[in-house]
């Protein structure tokens, strides 16, 4: 294969990886412009090597095997961008975009320029156009409200700890005959997390009752 064709494929991967990486860089994600360029560029180079490095040798080989390892190996890089922050898991979109630019780089390295360009444009549509829509859906998600009555300083502190753990908000504080009433609200993305919040507060209530019965005896 001519050197000009090799350089063209690498430049296409470089440019398309940069387009996707620029969006991640603008949003301050851990894997930004340089990381996406390197992933796309390296994927294209891997594809070129796997297709043509052994072409003149009288051996049987499968060009797709080396390229397949890129798709598998990119998972380790993507895993480094995923972080848990309270109720939220951040970095999934960045991990997916790294996987996407790896595939784009492979397509560019194989000489499938049109497919690589269309794929990069579709990735940009997902990252730019759908992001405000996703944010709107998250904002419209109703809060889960929970009312807790505490009658000791220790119990009050434990409730506040759970509120901070699950990134809740204190919406009401009222002193009643049975103690201090707190109304908390949580944004829970799924029913499993809601169940975990309720279970933690139930354990707190069981511990409070056990402590009260122990003190009474």
Write the CATH number for 181.
3.30.70
pLDDT for position 30 = 72
Tell me what the mean pLDDT of segment 194-210 comes to.
66
pLDDT for position 217 = 44
Q: Are residues 166 and 104 in the same domain?
A: no
**Domain span including residue 160:** 144-216
- In the 8-state DSSP scheme, what is residue 125? I
pLDDT for position 42 = 93
How does pLDDT run across 94-112, given as a tens digit for each residue? 888 999 999 999 999 999 9
- In the 8-state DSSP scheme, what is residue 57? S
Question: Is the model's pLDDT at 5 over the cut of 70?
Answer: yes
- Which has more pLDDT, 204 or 31? 31
Question: Is the model's pLDDT at 213 over the cut of 60?
Answer: no
Q: Are residues 184 and 83 in the same domain?
A: no
pLDDT for position 172 = 67
Q: Are residues 205 and 162 in the same domain?
A: yes
Residues 184 and 145: beta-carbon distance below 8 Å = yes
pLDDT for position 131 = 76
Question: Is the model's pLDDT at 45 over the cut of 90?
Answer: yes
Q: Are residues 122 and 155 in the same domain?
A: no
Q: Are residues 16 and 111 in the same domain?
A: yes
Tell me what the mean pLDDT of segment 127-151 comes to.
70
Question: Is the model's pLDDT at 86 over the cut of 60?
Answer: no
Identify which of 152, 164, 162, 167 has the alpha carbon closest to the alpha carbon of residue 208.
152
- Single residue among 124, 139, 154 that ends a domain in this structure: 139
Question: Across 51-55, 87-91, 175-179, which has the greatest mean pLDDT?
Answer: 51-55
- In the 8-state DSSP scheme, what is residue 128? I
Q: Are residues 67 and 87 in the same domain?
A: yes
- Single residue among 139, 165, 198 that ends a domain in this structure: 139
Q: Are residues 151 and 180 in the same domain?
A: yes
Q: Are residues 80 and 133 in the same domain?
A: yes
Q: Are residues 23 and 130 in the same domain?
A: yes
Tell me what the mean pLDDT of segment 160-170 comes to.
71
Residues 67 and 50: beta-carbon distance below 8 Å = yes
Question: Is the model's pLDDT at 195 over the cut of 80?
Answer: no
C-alpha dihedral sign at 26, 31, 35, 40: negative
Give the pairing type, strands 88-90 and 169-176.
unpaired
pLDDT for position 153 = 64
Domain count across the chain:
2
Q: Are residues 113 and 206 in the same domain?
A: no
Q: In the structure, what pLDDT confidence band is assigned to residue 51 with cuts at 50, 70 and 90?
A: confident
pLDDT for position 162 = 72
Determine which of 34-48, 77-91, 150-164 has the lowest per-residue pLDDT on average.
77-91
Q: Are residues 40 and 115 in the same domain?
A: yes
Instruction: Write out the two tokens for 147.
Output: 């009312």
Q: Are residues 27 and 56 in the same domain?
A: yes
Q: In the structure, what pLDDT confidence band is assigned to residue 27 with cuts at 50, 70 and 90?
A: confident
Average pLDDT, the chain: 77
């Amino acid at each position: 294969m001519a050197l000009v064709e090799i350089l063209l494929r690498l430049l296409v991967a470089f440019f398309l990886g940069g387009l996707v990486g620029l969006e991640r860089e603008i949003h301050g994600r851990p894997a930004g412009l340089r990381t996406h360029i390197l992933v796309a560029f390296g994927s294209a180079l891997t594809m070129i090597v796997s297709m043509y490095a052994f072409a003149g040798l009288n051996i049987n080989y499968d060009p797709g095997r080396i390229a397949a390892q890129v798709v598998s190996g990119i998972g380790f890089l993507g895993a480094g961008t995923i972080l848990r922050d309270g109720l939220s898991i951040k970095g999934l979109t960045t991990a997916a975009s790294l996987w996407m630019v790896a595939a784009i780089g492979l397509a560019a390295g194989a000489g499938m320029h049109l497919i690589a360009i269309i794929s990069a444009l579709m990735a940009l549509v997902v990252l730019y156009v759908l992001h405000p829509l996703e944010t709107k859906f998250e904002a419209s998600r109703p809060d889960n409200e929970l009312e807790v009555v505490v009658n000791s300083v220790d119990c009050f502190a434990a409730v506040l700890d759970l509120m901070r753990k699950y990134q809740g908000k204190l919406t009401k504080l009222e002193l009643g005959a049975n103690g201090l009433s707190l109304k908390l609200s949580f944004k829970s993305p799924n029913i499993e997390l809601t169940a975990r919040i309720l279970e933690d507060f139930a354990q707190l209530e069981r511990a409070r009752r056990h402590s009260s019965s122990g003190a009474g005896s």
